[in-house]
Amino acid sequence: MTINTIFLFLLVIAAYLNLYLTFSKRKQKKKTKLPISSREWSEKLENENFKSWLSNRERLKDKRKEKF
């Protein structure tokens, strides 16, 4: 075996190692999950908006009662 053959084997091993590491990184990235889903987030926002609307409504009712 000549030195060129040894370098060729090392190059092939490095290429396969690079491919393996690239694919394993992709699998790890897919496993990550968001702490809250988009549906839960929208429900949370709607609930907060509804609560603020209710409190504003009550405050306006109180103001109307004070006027009369």
First-residue to last-residue Cα distance in the chain: 104
pLDDT value, residue 18? 94
Residue 45 lies in a domain: yes
CA dist 29 and 21 (Å) reads 12
- The answer as to whether 43 is a domain residue is yes
Range of the domain at 60: 39-68
Taking only the tens place, the pLDDT of each residue in 1-51 is: 799 999 999 999 999 999 999 988 776 666 667 777 888 888 888 888 888
**Is 31 part of a structural domain of the chain?**
no
34 or 57: whose pLDDT is higher? 57
Q: Is the pTM of this model over 0.75?
A: no
Structural domain includes residue 20: no
Residue 11 lies in a domain: no
CA angle 6, 25, 14 (to 5 degrees): 5
